[in-house]
């Protein structure tokens, strides 16, 4: 059976919204799984696997993963943990593995959100490849937008924020920018909104985002697409992108604020 692009998008959208609880974070039951992983890491295990039956004790959704491999790996200071769907492997950096228990649970819960999203969409969130956009300033910005506004990444940051706030209940919302990136997301939207078409061989952020979208569509249906870089098309595309990014930002901001004020008020 070959799914159409619309069916895949619908499936992914449904699974993402389905796993989000009232606050927008994944079910607290998964904290038990995070605790078990952290316990084994703190006991010195640097490579182990959890079976489907072990995962099922904590997994509250429909499609429990068949297995989950956990590996401690040197990843540098910018990456604390990553999830690879192709190997069902959760990699935890050596730095994160040496941190205190509550922080480790926060990091693991972020990745468990990706794992749930991936499992509930039948690996749907990772079906499309990403184009190699190079290393120009505009290309780096387009990559950051694609990453920070990705629905699974946003869901993971909502979950992580909830656990970061538990550790720092006395802090103001701005303190958690390194987790939420809300201020940076807003700046990225403003950057796109103020961008102008370049009549050169250099690509704008708007064009790169359009190219990335065309690439994803092509990976789903095999049809090549050409970009229309006329002024009218550029301005229309820019407005559409800003509208979409703003909606994503507002929904994310609402979830973060609900968690923040509910926890502040003892909810």
pLDDT of residue 75: 83
Q: How confident is the model at residue 119 (pLDDT cuts 50, 70, 90)?
A: very high
Closest CA to 165 of 255, 97, 228: 255
pLDDT of residue 3: 42
Q: How confident is the model over 202-216, as pLDDT tens digits? A: 889 998 998 877 656
Closest CA to 122 of 8, 229, 209: 8
Q: How confident is the model at residue 188 (pLDDT cuts 50, 70, 90)?
A: very high
In the predicted model, what is the mean pLDDT of residues 214-219? Answer: 58
The pTM of the full predicted model, rounded to 2 decimals, is 0.85
Q: Is the pLDDT of residue 162 over 90?
A: yes
Distance (Å) of CA 53 to CA 56, 59, 68, 267: 5, 10, 11, 33
Distance (Å) of CA 181 to CA 24, 157, 159, 178, 240: 16, 9, 14, 6, 22
| Domains of the chain: residue spans and CATH | 22-125 (3.30.2010), 137-264 (no CATH)
Q: How confident is the model at residue 14 (pLDDT cuts 50, 70, 90)?
A: very low
Q: Is the pLDDT of residue 196 over 80?
A: yes
Q: How confident is the model at residue 15 (pLDDT cuts 50, 70, 90)?
A: very low
């Amino acid at each position: 059976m070959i799914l159409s692009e619309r069916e895949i998008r619908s499936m992914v959208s449904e699974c993402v919204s389905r796993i989000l609880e009232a606050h927008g974070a994944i079910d607290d039951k998964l904290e038990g799984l995070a605790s078990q992983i952290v316990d084994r890491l703190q006991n010195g295990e640097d490579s182990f696997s959890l079976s489907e039956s072990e995962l099922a004790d904590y997994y509250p959704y429909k499609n429990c993963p068949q297995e989950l491999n956990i590996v401690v790996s040197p990843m540098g200071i910018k990456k604390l943990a990553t999830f690879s769907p192709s190997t069902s492997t959760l990699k935890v950096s050596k730095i994160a593995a040496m941190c205190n228990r509550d922080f480790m649970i926060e990091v693991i819960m972020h990745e468990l959100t990706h794992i749930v999203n991936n499992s509930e969409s039948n690996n749907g969130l990772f079906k499309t490849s990403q184009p190699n956009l190079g290393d120009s300033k505009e290309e780096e910005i387009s990559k950051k937008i694609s990453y920070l506004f990705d629905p699974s990444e946003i869901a993971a940051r909502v979950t992580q924020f909830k656990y970061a706030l538990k550790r720092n209940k006395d802090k103001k919302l701005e303190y958690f920018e390194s987790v939420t990136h809300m201020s940076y997301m807003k700046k990225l939207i403003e950057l796109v909104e103020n961008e102008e078409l370049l009549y050169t061989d250099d690509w704008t952020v708007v064009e790169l985002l359009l190219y990335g979208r065309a690439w994803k569509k092509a990976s789903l249906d095999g049809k090549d697409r050409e970009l229309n870089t006329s002024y009218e098309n550029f301005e229309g595309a820019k407005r559409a992108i800003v509208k979409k990014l703003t909606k994503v930002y507002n929904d994310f901001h609402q979830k973060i604020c609900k968690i923040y004020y509910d926890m502040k008020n003892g909810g």
